[in-house]
Structure 1
Amino acid sequence: MVRHILVPTDGSEITAKAVQAAIDLARPLGATLTTISVKEPFPYSAISEMQPVPPQEFFDAQERIASARVKEVVKTAEAAGLACAAYTVEASHPWEAIVEQAKAHQCDLIVMASHGRRGVSALLLGSETQKVLTHCSIPVLVIK
């Protein structure tokens, strides 16, 4: 039985479909819903002392973007009558953060989009989705 669903978001249109699928699944099951958005780490360069954006400005922008993404999921869930916990996490590899958060929150299921903002390639699944499927020990529902 599914009791806790994790739905990662990158703010893309396909992710909105995954969010709706997670809500539609959670509601009749009485499952808890959690969303995360992964922030990119600061692109430190060993070559140059000059950075195009100061680190704090970069971190603040990443947090604003990630917070807006999870707030949208929370708003959508609340409109459907569900509570939704929201987290933003920093990671070099989004798939690792997704797998770690699923374990940390004891999720039974991950509902995620088949591809995200990194572009739709000729492949059916995006690289982050493929890696979650490969490395995760809990079920993953992929939404196209």
Structure 2
Amino acid sequence: MFKHILFPTDGSPASGAALHSAIKFAQEAGARVTALHVIPEFHIFTYHPEILEDTRGVYLKDSEVHSAAVLDEVAQVAADYNVPCDVVQRRSDQPFDTIVATALDYGCDLIAMATHGYKGVRGMLLGSETHRVLLNTPVPVLVFRPQ
């Protein structure tokens, strides 16, 4: 039924917990996986603009190294399960938009992602990328809840 699954990950414990379940699901479905990590854009406000270039460069390098490590973990787990896996890095301040766009651009027929499970005031303040994806995608979404 599903042949190409997008697995967006933020590298959090919730995403890590969902990783094996998502890859096992892909294996059982005979699907391939595209892992996505969305890197936040660099932002800073200062009255000393000359310090920004060095700071921005360090942030860009460090965020790409972190993203590569997160995606390498997904690729390794996929390899352990013999599931074909591609990795994608994107930069955006709107991860849900990037997740939906990537699923459509890559022809994914399922998005499998974790939720942090925030409720109440914490959920209202922090928001939920998973919820935003659910509201904005035509692609089915499989949500892994934290244990």
Structure 1 and Structure 2 fold alike (TM over 0.5): yes
* Offset from partner CA, 1:74-99 (integer Å, 9 cap, x none): 00111111121011110011111111
- Aligned-residue offset at 1:17: 2.5
TM score, norm. by length of structure 1:
0.88
CA separation of 1:46 and 1:73: change in aligned 2, threshold 3 A: same
1:43 maps to 43
Matched residues, percent identical? 33
C-alpha separation between the residues in 2 aligned to 1:3 and 1:83? 11
1:24 maps to 24
Give the match's secondary structure for 2:112: strand
Give the match's secondary structure for 1:75: helix
| More divergent stretch after superposition (70-79 vs 46-55) | 46-55
- Aligned-residue offset at 1:51: 3.6
C-alpha separation between the residues in 2 aligned to 1:96 and 1:48? 32
C-alpha separation between the residues in 1 aligned to 2:101 and 2:47? 32
1:67 maps to 68
Maintained 8 Å contact 2:31/2:83: no
* Root mean square deviation of aligned Cα: 2.2
* Offset from partner CA, 1:73-131 (integer Å, 9 cap, x none): 00011111112101111001111111111011100000111128xxx443499511110
* Offset from partner CA, 1:6-55 (integer Å, 9 cap, x none): 00111112112222222121112211111011111110437541449621
2:2 maps to 2
C-alpha separation between the residues in 2 aligned to 1:135 and 1:46? 35
Maintained 8 Å contact 1:4/1:32: yes
2:109 maps to 108
Instruction: Give the residue type in structure 1 aligned to 2:77.
Output: T
Unpaired runs of 5+ residues, structure 2, are none
CA separation of 1:48 and 1:34: change in aligned 2, threshold 3 A: same
TM score, norm. by length of structure 2:
0.86
| More divergent stretch after superposition (11-20 vs 124-133) | 124-133
More helix by share: 2
